[in-house]
Amino acid sequence: MNNSIPYGRQNITPEDILAVTEALQSDYLTQGPRILEFENEFASYVGSKFAVAVSNGTAALHLNALALGVKPGNKVITTPLTFAASANCIRYCGGTVVFADIDPDTYLLDIKAVRKLLESAPRGTYQGIVPVDFAGRAVDLEAFRKLADEFDLWIIEDSCHSPGGFFIDSQGVQQHCGNGNFADLAIFSFHPVKHIACGEGGMISTNDEALYKKLLALRTHGIVKDEDLYTNSIEFASAKASTNQYPAWYMEMQMLGFNYRLTDFQAALGTSQLQRADFGLEVRRRIAKTYFQAFKNEDFIKGQSGVIEGHAYHLYVLEVEDRLGLYNYLRENNIYAQIHYIPCHLMPYYRELGWKEGDMPIAENYYKHCISLPMYPTLTRDEQVFVIEKINEFYNV
């Protein structure tokens, strides 16, 4: 096959282009009506009360940590099997990241390992947990919520891999990622290889109105323009008293925030992409089923993502022997698989903070064998068959 096959790829349709063009030709390029439209439609999609659009997923994580009051000395638990931003957001606020190992069967943060950390330290040592819906598999947040409540912790759900994903709760109900029923805050990414592509972009979802209002201010320099949120400003009070009118120019910077805004044309693209999000999920799940059937009886497979109810399949992962050999062989055949991830605690930055090889043995063993296969809705049947053939060819020559 002559065309290259990446592990992920965006899909931009004529409808997407029209939506962006209309936004570019409108009166607003940023801070306009398309932001709120995107936020409202996304909140409806995941089932949350509120949503806040921001410039990227990392910004979403940072604002969450700020809104929850993370400060120097605070300890927060997360998984080593994630993109670095899931941990870095705590460091941005001066907090301390504590990694807990993964469950080898799910690749998700192991709740037993988290409980062990909590029970081995004085109460109040830890402030929160950042579980990650790795590869698109939803964390059982009902169980994590019970644990968090037991130890008075907040939860940030990193759902960058899982819009549309869900788990089944103890009552048999589908609980969608980011719906706000269990996590205090959840975040999503709109990077080109994600389910919904805005070029860059992110979203925060929550059911907590106080956190929602705080996030709105934090994403725009900490500035508030809502009369109901103003403090007892002398200028505002005197202007209103003398004119009995709202001084429209008035605003307050109430906290130190950031410029983490999304543009209107990015929001227009996101809103357009959201219209076919369910179809994209359906295709991803069909691709996953094909991979699973192809490899389920192969001796060279140590593990694979499998067919899991509610899985959003941002990634489809195999665990294999001679991962490097397979990776290079696929590249020689224009198949550009990827590795997700080098465990965070082994990155030089976190090594300098005291983490070392052997601290997270399950995540480290996973990393030695994992490879992410091409997974995106426009992957053709012929392309997927070619990928499967080349993997079998590598191990069966």
Output the tens digit of pLDDT for each of the chain's 397 residues: 779 999 999 999 999 999 999 999 999 999 999 999 999 999 999 999 999 999 999 999 999 999 999 999 999 999 999 999 999 999 999 999 999 999 999 999 999 999 999 999 999 999 999 999 999 999 999 999 999 999 999 999 999 999 999 999 999 999 999 999 999 999 999 999 999 999 999 999 999 999 999 999 999 999 988 766 666 565 666 655 555 566 778 888 999 999 999 999 999 999 999 999 999 999 999 999 999 999 999 999 999 999 999 999 999 999 999 999 999 999 999 999 999 999 999 999 999 999 999 999 999 999 999 999 999 999 999 999 999 999 999 999 6
Looking at residue 244, its pLDDT comes to: 59
On whether the pTM is more than 0.85, the answer is yes
Residue indicated by tokens 């009552």: 171
Looking at residue 225, its pLDDT comes to: 82
Looking at residue 2, its pLDDT comes to: 76
The whole-angstrom separation of Cα 109 and Cα 114 is: 8
Looking at residue 232, its pLDDT comes to: 59
The whole-angstrom separation of Cα 26 and Cα 241 is: 37
Q: Which domains does the chain have, with CATH numbers?
A: 5-222+256-274 (3.40.640.10), 277-396 (3.90.1150.10)
- Grouping H, G, I as helix, E, B as strand and the rest as coil, residue 319 is strand
**Is-contact 87 120, C-beta < 8 A?**
no
Looking at residue 26, its pLDDT comes to: 97
**Is-contact 253 222, C-beta < 8 A?**
yes
Name the nearest CA neighbour of 35 among 44, 25, 23, 45.
23
Which helix (H) or strand (E) element contains residue 252?
strand 252-253
